A and B are shown apart, each in its own frame.
Chain A
């Protein structure tokens, strides 16, 4: 468990959201167990973790759908713990979009405008928002006439119309197919830069977190295991859980080595570990090797494929092989 100070970003002169020792229990289960976190204005922040780790509950606590049992939720300087969702300057993009099926796209986007006190020109505002997500001209459609990607855009437009201080996204791309997900990742990132609003999104997909976020918090069992920039968390995981979740699976006494940092040799080399090939999986750009070392440890090695067969790529199950890595790639764990 990292110390409190480590959960805070380096330059936190402009904090938009601060969670202090937030707790939420469901019956005997602690869904969120003492989370302290600061998020800067304009950040694209990811809450990453396996299902049941408490990331969605944490998002719901910020949205106001749940109220914390203990701790403070400070939004732009004001403690909003206990304030209902409709009185928080926070909006949500739901996992399955939650578009109102009985309303048109334009009416969905306009839904929240009437609750805003400041004077609006709703019609031009709606058109502006639809243009922002490239849905202009489709305002008269009903949600069931839209594709998954279009629904996603409408959900974004609807949530951004009210200029929230923080936009929350619950597994925003999980319902899309792979190709569309990649496109939407790029679009989402661009959109966040354009509107300049703080985005906090929940995902169980580490690649998505790395692609989209500036900083990421990895959660496990209701607690934050590590917070940092995507590069820090990926390259310098501090705990076994984070290392494992980020795909660094070669654990040794006190350190871990990422599979793509290891190399295979067909001849003996200095400081190399000897073993036999257990299996190989061709993955297109890379090949994933499982090697059983002589002392019984299973190592995963990922080699780039360059398309030219060589001694390594011709290795078969049971063949003798040496695994080598550099000292600087050993990441110490707590």
Chain B
């Protein structure tokens, strides 16, 4: 074969990623551009869109009634992420480093199996567990522990439970992946140099699993920030989050320009967080795993 054939290959290699570009362009960039345009228009009666451009939607989105919703959303997302992290790390650690090799695949399958059922169905299942006549309340009442049903459903706690339940696999899997490829001889080296098991974890395991941990945090935090099904079904009317706000504007409220402005603001907020993290990681000389 002539050497030029090896030179020619890279010139057309970009074709390999063109399907991705096509999908991203049609289903992500175009809708994003439409949303940006919509957010700068005025809303008329009955969902009519009147020409702008105007920043009124953005200005309105910072009114105090809405900022409470944003604060609540951030709080739920942060709490979900922290709880997921605390729940998932030991699980990922056990599967990656402690479980017998032949059991690993079974344990990983158990983490993934919930995805076989629709997210909506699983969230409805939580309603049956948490409601007044649900599994938990009936059990506790039949045992005589309580006489009145505990208010579980339609509370922030219910939203948190539903969110954590839904997001845990997205935290377990990336942490597992980075622990799994950890070179065990590094842990032995740490012990050899005098570190206790806890110190070896703190100084070697945790820093080296950081890319997976950060990936898990990002994968859980961002969807949690925009979630709307869980608060809709488990949170009740008082638990509105930013996801529900946006959904409402596109639906019952018939105000697509305002909904678009809130969505754009949310997107900008997430991008700003990621950008800040990337800058921080780069200053520390770490790989940026985004």
Q: How far is the CA of A111 from the CA of B208 in the complex (A)?
A: 15
Q: How many residues of B contact A (CB 8 A)?
A: 17
A144 CB, nearest partner CB in chain B, Å: 11
B192–A92 touching, CB < 8 Å = yes
Question: Which of chain A's residues 41-60 have a Cβ closer than 8 Å to chain B?
Answer: none
* Interface residue from A85, A90, A102 paired with B207 (Cβ < 8 Å): A102
A116 and B186 form a contact (CB under 8 A): no
Nearest CB on B from A168, distance (A): 9
Are B185 and A85 neighbours in the complex by a CB distance under 8 Å? no
A98 touches B208 (CB 8 A): no
Contact partner of A85 among B186, B188, B199, B203, CB < 8 A?
A: B188
Interface of A is mostly: loop
Cβ-defined partner of A65 (8 Å) among B183, B188, B193: B188
Selected contact of A116 from candidates B192, B194, B203, CB within 8 Å: B194
Most buried by A among B192, B194, B204: B192
Complex CA–CA separation, A96 to B189 (angstroms): 11
Interface: A318 (CB within 8 A): no
The residues of A that contact B186 with a CB separation of less than 8 Å are 98, 100-101
Q: Are B192 and A91 in contact (CB under 8 A)?
A: yes
Asked whether any CB of chain B lies closer than 8 Å to the CB of A277, the reply is no
In angstroms, how far is the closest chain B Cβ from the Cβ of A82? 15
Secondary structure of the B contact surface, majority rule = helix
* B191: Cβ under 8 A from any A Cβ: yes
Q: Are A94 and B195 in contact (CB under 8 A)?
A: no
The complex places the Cα of A111 from the Cα of B183 at a distance, in Å, of 17
Whole-angstrom distance from the CB of A153 to the nearest CB of chain B?
16
B218 on the interface (CB 8 Å rule)? no
B196 within 8 A of A: yes
| CB within 8 Å of A: which B198-238 residues | 199, 203-204, 207-208
Minimal beta-carbon separation of B67 from chain A (angstroms): 40
The reply on B270 being an interface residue by CB < 8 A is: no
Task: Number of A interface residues at 8 Å Cβ cutoff, please give it.
Answer: 26
A86 within 8 A of B: yes
Q: Which residues of A contact B204 (CB under 8 A)?
A: 100
Interface centre among B190, B191, B208, by most A CB within 10 Å? B191
B183 touches A98 (CB 8 A): yes
Q: Are B207 and A158 in contact (CB under 8 A)?
A: no
* Complex CA–CA separation, A40 to B203 (angstroms): 35
Cβ contacts under 8 Å, A65 to chain B: 188, 191-192
Q: Is A272 an interface residue (CB 8 A)?
A: no
Q: Which residues of A contact B196 (CB under 8 A)?
A: 86
Q: Hey, what's the 0/1 contact readout for B157-175 against A, CB within 8 Å counting as 1?
A: 0000000000000000000
**CB pair A86 B185 closer than 8 Å:** no
Query: Which residue of chain A has its CB nearest to the CB of B207?
Result: A102
Question: What residue in chain B is nearest A161 (Cβ atoms)?
Answer: B193
Interface residue from A95, A102, A111 paired with B193 (Cβ < 8 Å): A111
Q: Is there a chain B Cβ closer than 8 Å to A196's Cβ?
A: no
Contact across chains for A98 and B188 when beta carbons are under 8 A apart? yes
Partner of B188, one of A94, A101, A102, A111: A94
Q: Give 8 nearest A-B pairs by CB, closest first.
A: A115-B194, A112-B193, A98-B189, A98-B185, A85-B191, A112-B194, A92-B192, A86-B191
- Of the A-B pairs whose beta carbons lie under 8 Å apart in the complex, a sample of 24, sorted by A's number, is A63-B188, A64-B191, A84-B191, A85-B192, A86-B191, A86-B194, A91-B192, A91-B193, A92-B188, A92-B189, A92-B192, A94-B189, A96-B185, A98-B186, A98-B189, A100-B204, A102-B208, A111-B203, A112-B194, A115-B193, A115-B199, A159-B193, A162-B193, A162-B194
Chain A residues within CB distance 8 Å of chain B: 63-65, 84-87, 90-92, 94-96, 98-102, 111-112, 114-116, 158-159, 162
Instruction: Write the residues of chain B forming the contact surface with A, with a CB cutoff of 8 angstroms.
Output: 183, 185-186, 188-196, 199, 203-204, 207-208
